[in-house]
């Protein structure tokens, strides 16, 4: 019963917000929409038109991104905190760097500079103010990724020179290339005519403001760029993960080799010690054996000498063996025996 109620509730929510696909945790499943939900858009009156367009389209083009736009917003107004010309967050005017910090955006899209190029303002001066503006945002929000959107082109006769806009964009594109967490998004090229000006069909006032068609192109360009950015980041993460795995494998193999070599060395040392101990023990035990053997050899020699002595005493001399006892010249002839030799029984 509980699961049926949850299913009914999910269906009702989907019908109330038909442009967002919900999963079981009420999170948009489109990666671009997820990205936009963590993004903030900063801009002047041209950007304010983008906010109005996104709201009119049910927040489909840019999802639930935080829109920090205000008419007549400029670097000058932000620097001085002019409440009439700075963005609002939850109804409270605040400078962009503070609003970004408060809303917790991870990605910041900035389309600024048009109001700082009005009249005789120099392009170099506007670029310097832009860089200081970005530095202020990063000082308060060091982990954010910044996307600099090009200033949109203008029509001939506008109080903002289109040539100045083009030069300003080229400066900012080069500036973005100097930082790893800053990217340039070209939204102006799709809005230009063959002469490089804002196409008449995309201009709503004959000067610099855009039509809904132009805002649709702007939003589509941003979504396409985000999709490509996500793919590039995923590829970079996959490559980094592959490098980490290869490094971990190399470290593991190196550690195992070191452990094996250490174990083998310890084993060899132990075997050598055992062999030396065994050799010393054999050397020590062999001394009495040699002494016993020498003693035995000496005893055997003495025995042989003693036996030889006995044999020599019992056998007659070679001369006696050669001459018979009764031979006249035999020293033991009975005729030569002393007569007075006493008889010993």
CB 192 within 8 A of CB 155: no
CB 134 within 8 Å of CB 146: yes
Query: Which ranges of 141-176 would DSSP assign to H, the alpha helix?
Result: 162-176
For tokens 């009975």, the residue is 334
What is the architecture of the domain spanning 12-248? 3-Layer(aba) Sandwich (3.40)
Q: How far apart are CA 139 and CA 134, in angstroms?
A: 9
pTM comes to 0.68
Q: Vertex 229, ends 225 and 235: CA angle to 5°?
A: 150
d(CA 10, CA 281): 86
Backbone phi, psi, residue 263, to 5°: -65, -40
How confident is the prediction along the chain (345 residues), in pLDDT tens digits per residue? 554 454 555 554 444 444 444 444 455 578 999 999 999 999 999 999 999 999 999 999 999 999 999 999 999 999 999 989 999 999 999 999 999 999 999 999 999 999 999 989 999 999 999 999 999 999 999 999 999 999 999 999 999 999 999 999 999 999 999 999 999 999 999 999 999 999 999 999 999 999 999 999 999 999 999 999 999 999 999 999 999 999 999 999 889 888 899 888 888 888 888 888 888 887 777 666 556 666 667 667 777 776 766 666 665 555 444 545 455 555 544 444 455 445 455
CA nearest 328: which of 338, 339, 336, 316?
336
Residue carrying structure tokens 């005493």: 313
């Amino acid at each position: 019963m509980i699961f049926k109620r949850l299913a009914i509730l999910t269906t009702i929510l989907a019908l109330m917000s038909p442009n967002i696909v919900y999963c079981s945790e009420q999170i948009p499943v489109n990666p671009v929409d997820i990205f936009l939900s963590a993004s903030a858009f900063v801009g002047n009156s041209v950007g304010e038109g983008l906010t109005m367009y996104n709201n009119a389209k049910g927040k489909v083009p840019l999802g639930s991104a935080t829109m920090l736009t205000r008419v007549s917003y400029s670097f000058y107004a932000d620097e001085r905190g002019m409440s009439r010309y700075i963005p609002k967050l939850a109804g409270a005017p605040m400078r962009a760097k503070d609003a970004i910090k408060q809303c917790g955006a991870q990605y910041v899209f900035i389309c600024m500079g048009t109001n700082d190029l009005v009249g005789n303002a120099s392009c170099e001066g506007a670029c310097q103010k832009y860089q200081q503006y970005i530095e202020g945002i990063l000082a308060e929000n060091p982990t954010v990724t910044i996307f600099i959107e090009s200033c949109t082109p203008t029509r001939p006769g506008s109080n903002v020179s289109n040539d100045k806009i083009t030069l300003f964009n080229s400066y900012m594109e080069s500036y973005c290339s100097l930082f790893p967490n800053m990217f340039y998004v070209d939204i102006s090229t799709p809005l230009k005519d063959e002469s490089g000006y804002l196409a008449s069909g995309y201009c709503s006032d004959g000067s610099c403001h855009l039509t809904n068609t132009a805002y649709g192109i702007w939003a589509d360009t941003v979504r396409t760029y985000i999709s490509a950015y996500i793919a590039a980041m995923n590829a970079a993460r996959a490559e980094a993960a592959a490098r980490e795995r290869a490094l971990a494998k190399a470290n593991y193999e190196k550690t195992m080799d070191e452990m094996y070599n250490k174990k083998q060395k310890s084993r060899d040392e132990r075997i050598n010690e055992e062999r030396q101990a065994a050799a010393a023990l054999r050397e020590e035990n062999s001394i009495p054996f040699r002494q016993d053997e020498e003693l035995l050899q000496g005893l055997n020699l003495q025995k042989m000498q003693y036996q030889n002595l006995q044999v020599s005493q019992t056998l007659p001399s070679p001369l006696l063996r050669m001459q018979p006892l009764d031979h006249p010249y035999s020293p033991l002839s009975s005729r030569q025996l002393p007569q007075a030799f006493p008889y010993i029984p």
